Amino acid sequence: MKELKAVLANWEAVIGLEVHTELTTLQTKMFCSCKIEYGAAPNTHVCPVCLGMPGALPQPNKAAIQSIVLAGLATNCQIQRRSMFYRKNYFYPDMSKNFQTTQGPVAFCMYGGIDLEVTGAAACERDQRQGTRPLASGDGYVTPIGIQRIHMEEDAGKMVHVGGESGRITGADYSLLDYNRCGTPLIELVTKPDLRTPEEARLFLQELRQIFLALRISDCSMEQGSLRCDGNISLRRRGSEQLGAKTELKNMNSFKNLHDGLAYEICRQAKVLESGERVLQETRHWEPSARRTVSMRIKETADDYRLFPEPDLAPYDLSDEFVASVRAMLPELPAARRTRYLSDYELPAADARLLAADNDLAAFFDSALLAASANTDGDLSASGLGGGKGGQAKSVRLVTLAKQLANLLLNDTQAYLNVHNFKLVDTSLTPEHLVQLAALVADGELSSKQGKEVFAQTIKEGTSPRDTVNHLGIKQLSDTDALQAVVNDVLARFPDKVQQYRAGKTGLLGFFVGQAMQATTGQANPQLLNEMFMQTLAE
Amino acid sequence: MNFTEYAALRVADIRAGLLKGDFTAHELAQAAGDAYQVMDGPLHAFLQPTPGLAQARAEALDQRIAGQSCDAANRRQKGSGTLAPTGQARFTDTVSTGNAFGAHTNHSLLPNNADLRLAGVPIAFKDNMNQLGTRTTCASRMLENYESTYTATCVDRALAAGALPLGKLNMDEFAFGSSTESSAFGTTQNPWDLSRVPGGSSGGSAAAVASGITTVALGSDTGGSIRQPAAFCGVVGFKPTYGVVSRYGVVAFGSSLDQVGAFGRSVGCVAAATDAICGRDVRDCTSQDSAANFEAAALAGVEQGIKGMKIGVVREYLSLSGLEAEVIRALEDAIGHLECLGAHIQEVELPNARAALSAYYVIGPCEAFSNLSRFDSVRYGYRQCGANNLNEQCERSRAAGFGPETIRRVMLGSYLLSSGVYHTYYYPAQQVRTLITQDYQRAFASVDALLTPVSPRTAFSFGEITDPTQMYLSDVFTIPINIAGNGGLSLPVGLGSDSGLPVAVQLIGPQFQDENILRVAAALEARYDIERLAPLYQRLLEAKGEDAYRVVNKRQNANERQRVDEKGMQSNNNERCCPAGQQHLAANNPDPENERGRAKDS
């Protein structure tokens, strides 16, 4: 099979995504008051409504409507004031009523879109003449991705097929049903066919996940299935405007699988087309282990779901006040956060992206800098910290501190959390302590190695970094008079090396610094030593 | 308490009697149980009697009343005065344990206490209403053994109001029909004439009230299923405006058409029962807040009259073919009475009402198709074993578990909703619905209520109507208001001059102004001196008990068989979609003919 890059040289892939997101942060289901809980004992969160018992009627969850309106506003959709629920009729045992309550032609959110930033090596996969604009940094492009609609629906239960080889229904001895998930509020977002490469699809889904996480409407776990994505994909010759026959791709339950599944499918379709055959309109299943897609069912005509307005639920008339109240709840979104980190703190682009992507880290980062600005002994109060609303001169110290903080959060903290499988809130770390530590390192009072030592103590015990420094007697030696003696001593001990250095073997500087560090049992400020050796040797 | 005394009691009498200590709830429950024992054999109104539940409720109520009594010393002993027509032991055993209901009773407890407005009132529920402790079968094989897992709001409210639940009542399968002949568990007989149908789909409810077994009954009305059987059985049946009574827990037929309502032998009884069950229910988001007091409205009709109220009549209705002369005469009599009462009679037009039938036969089956999808044999309900896979099990179980009329409706709905067809039928049907609703709005701009027939004719005999079109036409006066959503009441106005069977008129009100209906109905009711109790009890006594029941049952079965033979089309239908089902029925159903009830509407 041909390489993706080679295929994309001749073919343009047209990709649209359907993204299902369970509103897991809600307390209760879409149409009843059963609890939403992942991993609970089977069929313990069920009632007559979500079990579809005779005579039961749906009672819509207002918080779910709030969530979908949030999602719509965050993705620049038009919020439809009047929309309705519909019944999508099909027989499947995981759907207790044998119809899914979903929305019809008009969804709560219509016609939105986001600007997607594409950077890195994969940026070359797209023909960038098409409606994109280059990134300011020059290493990628921005392209608008349209969103057709976001509609509200309910999730189905889970089936476990026992016996048989595949774990799928075909060939199973029997199947078990768990209706805990049945009736969980689900929003389905449908993009326009604006995506052109698997990497764009992957980045789009990541961006969307970050937005939904920032909105706190879902835990967006692809592993647990609260974020699921199907792809629709077709190929056309570069330059052609006509859409080809598409396939629908399922089972792409991670970002990598989304990328790899689409990449495979693009190559497969190209091969089919290049051999003069036609692509069948069908649903295909991505098999990550075999790294291929297999046909699930041919789908030449659309399924007949006998959609009709749900008579048990009155049409919705969202008031302007309601929409305004939801708009007022919108938090800062990842894209805005990213821009702020870049412009206000001059964080490296990668750091800004990573920090902005994580709600907890970003909030921690922001409140740490806020704490620093509130601290009267700092010189940050005049620097526009906390608001960070451009225009004001950025203080050098602020930028240094922010960089140090980002480091501590993205490396040390993240590593600690990963090792212990903790969340940030599970630790004793406070924003005040972390910014104190960042200041100690930034001011050269601690070496970065010492910083790590103090960090370990701080996050574990919840002690303040200053106390830890005093308690453990860790202190970076920055007294130039004391250090000069050490420098002189080292140079005196290795006259031959001094000669070699002066003859041009400047790499020996590291050797001298190392000796000096040893002599001070690691407490000297290596940066300072570096300078001092250079200066002394130059004399 | 003998049957005559028991059957004479209205809801208001029961409250007052309990209050005064004339009788206990226990005695009422026993009298109801006795009436059931005597009459339900030939009548077959009940699918599941619940005498135990009624007794338990009655005893709790008696204790509650006793507990509220201020002066236990003033208790007076009261004998039950039973007359046991069948000589059953438990009748004579009911020597009262004493009514702990003293002279100094806390009088605020009952009539003014909205919580207990149905205290001691015998009630029975159509078998599509969930009630914990009972099976809810919808008169279908599919749910033959289905035990309710919760209680419907209307049932819950009636019980909370102190009513005594006598049992679950027969109906057309899933309420598809107008004669109760499509019940999978046998027909219900009209207590006025056992050779005639009680109407449907709430035929069991109407028959149970008309015979005197129960004081009130609840039913559901999708296209006339309360009003038409009420008319056929000579009792009052009231379908309030859509949304007045919660549908939660009532197995759905047509969700946008279904409405729960009450049967009684007087307007006051029906008003009291509706007061007890109406109002907003968070579990049914189509239900509405109701500030109405129907009992007060009915009382106002009697005490203050209806002078000056404007009543509309629909001229074009009188020229409909199939409308019998005695029904027209009854309507004209009613108009005369209304004029005597000082009401102004005014002609109104409902130009689109005739399209209601067509719209109904699109919307109803579509919603029914979807509502009945959940009966798939997976979680509950009838399951045919031995299938090779899930689809086959579902298909076989549905084919065998549903009767032919249900299968017809489901197939019709499935077809009407399919892509390409949807825009030809369902969509225009909804547009017609809007037009009809506007018709009523226009009419009610100038009148306070409408007076129309309920049914073009009186109760027909089993097997009498074989032409489905004629059968559909019999709902022509009731269906339009389900389409529009308004409330309607069927008021008996005596026996027809030709048939000698009960005839009724229908009163229709503006949406959510059902008080108008009850006010007019109560005023009009007072003008008629007619018997609401069917003569079944007396006749059975005269016919000497058991033997009479057997005769009735035999005749009934003969009727069934004859009818099935005439329905070749239904058999074909059945064979085509469920050969396995037929085999099953033949093997397990002792009376398979009953499975093939007629094609009719509710």
- Measured in degrees and rounded to the nearest 5, phi and psi for residue A493 equal -75, -25
pLDDT above 70 (res B4): yes
B20 is catalytic: no
Asked whether the beta carbons of A51 and A40 are under 8 A apart, the reply is no
Q: Nearest C-alpha of chain B: how many angstroms from A95?
A: 9
Asked whether the beta carbons of B305 and B270 are under 8 A apart, the reply is no
The most confident of the ranges A6-15, A421-430, B441-450, B563-572 is: B441-450
pLDDT above 60 (res B113): no
B126 is catalytic: yes
Q: How confident is the model at residue A423 (pLDDT cuts 50, 70, 90)?
A: confident
Gap between the Cα atoms of B248 and B262, Å rounded: 16
pLDDT above 70 (res B582): no
Gap between the Cα atoms of B524 and B518, Å rounded: 10
B225 is catalytic: yes
Q: Which residue shows structure tokens 């050797």?
A: A511
Tell me: the pLDDT tens digits for A52-62? 999 999 999 99
Write out the E strands in A24-139. Answer: 78-79, 82-83, 85-89, 99-103, 109-119, 133-134
Name the least confident of A93-107, A517-531, B438-452: A517-531
Q: Which of B492, B486, B395 is nearest to B447 (CA)?
A: B486
A55 contacts on B by Cβ (under 8 Å): 128-130, 136, 152, 247-252
> For residue A220, how far is the Cα from the chain centroid?
9
In this predicted model, which residue has the larger pLDDT, A520 or B45? B45
DSSP-assigned states of every residue in A419-461: HHT--GGGS---HHHHHHHHHHHHTTSS-HHHHHHHHHHHHHH
What was the pLDDT predicted at B114? 53
B373 with A48: Cβ contact below 8 A:
no
Cβ neighbours around A390 below 10 Å, total:
10
B149 with A60: Cβ contact below 8 A:
no
Average confidence score pLDDT of chain B? 85
Tell me: the pLDDT tens digits for A212-261? 999 999 999 999 999 999 999 999 998 888 999 999 999 898 999 999 99
Instruction: Report chain B residues touching chain A, CB-CB < 8 A.
Output: 128-130, 136, 138, 143, 146, 149-150, 152, 247-252, 254-256, 282-286, 366-367, 369-370, 373-376, 378-380, 390-391, 394, 414, 417-419, 422, 426
Q: How confident is the model at residue B474 (pLDDT cuts 50, 70, 90)?
A: confident
B130 with A55: Cβ contact below 8 A:
yes
Q: Nearest C-alpha of chain A: how many angstroms from B77?
A: 45
Gap between the Cα atoms of A268 and A285, Å rounded: 13
Mean pLDDT of B45-65: 95
In this predicted model, which residue has the larger pLDDT, A397 or A258? A258
Q: Which CATH number is B119-602 given?
A: 3.90.1300.10
DSSP-assigned states of every residue in A367-430: HHHHHHHH-TTSS-GGGTTTT--SSSPPPHHHHHHHHHHHHIIIIIIHHHHHHHT--GGGS---
Mean pLDDT of B278-290: 94
pLDDT above 50 (res B81): no
Name every residue whose Cβ is closer than 8 Å to that of residue A160 and which is 6 or more positions away in sequence: A175, A176, A177, A178
First to last CA, chain B: 36
- Measured in degrees and rounded to the nearest 5, phi and psi for residue B277 equal -105, -5
Tell me: the pLDDT tens digits for B488-510? 999 999 999 999 999 999 999 99
Show the tokens assigned to B53: 């539940």
pLDDT above 80 (res A395): no
Exposure string for B75-95, b = 16+ CB within 10 A, e = fewer: beebebebebbeeeeebeebe
pLDDT above 50 (res B555): no
Asked whether the beta carbons of B230 and B192 are under 8 A apart, the reply is no
CA dihedral B410, B416, B418, B421 (to 10 degrees): 160
Closest partner residue to B370 (CB to CB) among A59, A89, A313 is A89
Q: For the domain made up of A480-538, give the CATH fold.
A: Arc Repressor Mutant, subunit A (1.10.10)
Three-class SS of residue B1? coil
B248 contacts on A by Cβ (under 8 Å): 55-57
Mean pLDDT of A381-386: 39
B367 with A311: Cβ contact below 8 A:
yes
Gap between the Cα atoms of B153 and B159, Å rounded: 10
Tell me: the pLDDT tens digits for A121-180? 788 888 777 788 888 777 789 999 999 999 999 999 999 988 877 667 777 888 899 999
Asked whether the beta carbons of B218 and B233 are under 8 A apart, the reply is no
- Measured in degrees and rounded to the nearest 5, phi and psi for residue B373 equal -60, -30
What was the pLDDT predicted at B427? 93
Mean pLDDT of B94-116: 39
Q: Which of B184, B175, B190 is nearest to B221 (CA)?
A: B175
pLDDT above 80 (res B103): no
Closest partner residue to B255 (CB to CB) among A93, A169, A311 is A311
What was the pLDDT predicted at A121? 77
- Sorted by where each begins, the domain ranges of chain A are 4-313, 334-472, 480-538
B416 burial class (0-12, 13-18, 19+ CB within 10 angstroms)?
A: buried
Beta-bridge partners for A396: none
Percent of chain B with pLDDT over 90: 73
pLDDT above 70 (res B249): yes
Percent of chain B with pLDDT over 70: 82
CA distances, B162 to each of A216, B64, B120, B240, B594 (Å): 48, 10, 6, 22, 36
Asked whether the beta carbons of A404 and A441 are under 8 A apart, the reply is yes
Tell me: the pLDDT tens digits for A325-339? 999 999 999 999 999
pLDDT above 70 (res B564): no
pLDDT above 60 (res B565): no
Gap between the Cα atoms of B1 and B82, Å rounded: 5
What was the pLDDT predicted at A371? 81
Asked whether the beta carbons of A23 and A64 are under 8 A apart, the reply is yes
Name the least confident of A40-44, A340-344, A374-378: A374-378
Q: Which of A311, A446, A129 is nearest to B370 (CA)?
A: A311
Name the least confident of A492-506, B109-123, B458-472: B109-123
DSSP-assigned states of every residue in B15-50: HHHHHHTSS-HHHHHHHHHHHHHHHHHHH--EEEE-
CA A404-A406-A412 angle, to 5 degrees, is: 90
What was the pLDDT predicted at A188? 97
Tabulate helix, strand, coil % of chain A (nearest 5). 40, 20, 40
What was the pLDDT predicted at A374? 66
Cβ neighbours around A256 below 10 Å, total:
12
Q: Which of B422, B409, B367, B220 is nearest to A310 (CA)?
A: B367
Gap between the Cα atoms of A243 and A14, Å rounded: 8
In this predicted model, which residue has the larger pLDDT, B7 or A170? B7
What was the pLDDT predicted at B96? 31
Gap between the Cα atoms of B277 and B231, Å rounded: 22
pLDDT above 80 (res B561): no
Q: Residue A233: in which H helix or E strand, if any?
A: strand A227-237
Mean pLDDT of A383-404: 61
Cβ neighbours around A248 below 10 Å, total:
19
What was the pLDDT predicted at B69? 58
Cβ neighbours around A523 below 10 Å, total:
16
Average confidence score pLDDT of chain A? 87
What was the pLDDT predicted at B583? 32
What was the pLDDT predicted at B547? 52
Show the tokens assigned to A529: 């030593």
Q: How confident is the model at residue A298 (pLDDT cuts 50, 70, 90)?
A: low
What was the pLDDT predicted at B136? 98
Q: Nearest C-alpha of chain B: how many angstroms from A54?
A: 5
Helices (H), A165-254: 198-215
Mean pLDDT of B140-165: 97
First to last CA, chain A: 65
Show the tokens assigned to A205: 């889904």
What was the pLDDT predicted at B462? 94
Q: Nearest C-alpha of chain A: how many angstroms from B129?
A: 8
Exposure string for B288-307, b = 16+ CB within 10 A, e = fewer: bebebbbbebbbbbeeebbe
